[in-house]
A and B are shown apart, each in its own frame.
Chain A
Amino acid sequence: DAKTTQPPSMDCAEGRAANLPCNHSTISGNEYVYWYRQIHSQGPQYIIHGLKNNETNEMASLIITEDRKSSTLILPHATLRDTAVYYCIVREDFGNEKLTFGTGTRLTIIP
């Protein structure tokens, strides 16, 4: 069963903010929201993760709704190198809980 739902594809103009949505309506209280991206022919790259508070790092911001049923990954100033498939994954943050990948969102940055 898919734990997350993402749009299959999105376009964003270079230099603009890219906002990638993710629905995770069945998330449990001890599950975190993780975001990874995969550039063509490379291994996935960790971007950010959070539990309930909004998070920001040098790559992106993560906005999680108060009910935690959805989140948005924000790339503040998209560049052509941000073209990739973005995966939203929910996972417990302890033990050996594995990452299960869905189909993700293919983000294309347009010059």
Chain B
Amino acid sequence: GAVVSQHPSWVICKSGTSVKIECRSLDFQATTMFWYRQFPKQSLMLMATSNEGSKATYEQGVEKDKFLINHASLTLSTLTVTSAHPEDSSFYICSARERRGTGNTIYFGEGSWLTVV
């Protein structure tokens, strides 16, 4: 299957600082990428849908000014957690949609652990 890579795999930051997570589609072009957040022992929760060259669409309850998403190219989307607080500590996962023929499968990155201290 297609490969989606996230960086960094884990990061620790101080409260009040910002941290950026990158999501790359390595062997295909992704016009659409999705960002999820997962707390321990819970399912994945969609945060936003990122379309290349346009503004992201955020899910209800997700602060767009706090979670900045940029999808500047067909292979890269970034999520920046601004003014991070301990409650933002979570597992952040991106995914990218591969369009192949009539198929439309979504592949996920390895995830990024964020710990805010």
Which residue numbers of A lie inside 8 Å of B, CB to CB? 34, 36, 38, 41-46, 49, 87, 93-96, 98-104
| Complex CA distance for A34 and B106, rounded to whole angstroms | 10
Residue in chain A with minimal CB distance to B59: A98
Interface of B is mostly: strand
Q: Is the CB–CB distance between B104 and A93 below 8 Å?
A: yes
In the bound complex, what is the Cα–Cα distance between A34 and B103 (angstroms)? 12
- Looking at chain A's contact residues, the main secondary structure is loop
Find B51's partner among A38, A96, A102 (CB 8 Å cutoff).
Answer: A96
A75 to B1 Cα, complex, angstroms? 18
Using a CB–CB distance below 8 Å, which chain B residues touch chain A? 1, 4, 6, 32, 34, 36, 43-46, 49, 51, 91, 93, 95, 97, 102-111, 113
What's the least CB distance linking A62 to chain B, in Å?
14
Given A100-B46, A103-B43, also A94-B34 (CB < 8 A): no
Contact A96 B32 (CB under 8 A): yes
Contacts A96-B49, A96-B97, A98-B34; A44 near B103 (Cβ below 8 A): no
5 chain-A/chain-B pairs, Cβ below 8 angstroms: A34-B105, A46-B106, A49-B105, A87-B43, A93-B103
B103 / chain A contacts, CB cutoff of 8 Å: 93
Q: How far is the CB of B90 from chain A (nearest CB, A)?
A: 12
C-alpha spacing A95/B95, complex, angstroms: 15
Q: Would A101 and B43 count as touching, CB distance under 8 A?
A: yes
Inter-chain contact B109/A43, CB cutoff 8 Å: yes
- Judge whether A98 and B49 touch: CB under 8 Å: yes
Q: Please give me the residue from chain B that is nearest to A94 by CB atom.
A: B104
Q: How far is the CB of A53 from chain B (nearest CB, A)?
A: 14
Nearest opposing residue in chain B for A38, CB measure = B44
| A89 nearest CB neighbor, chain B only | B106
Question: Are B95's CB and A41's CB within 8 A?
Answer: no
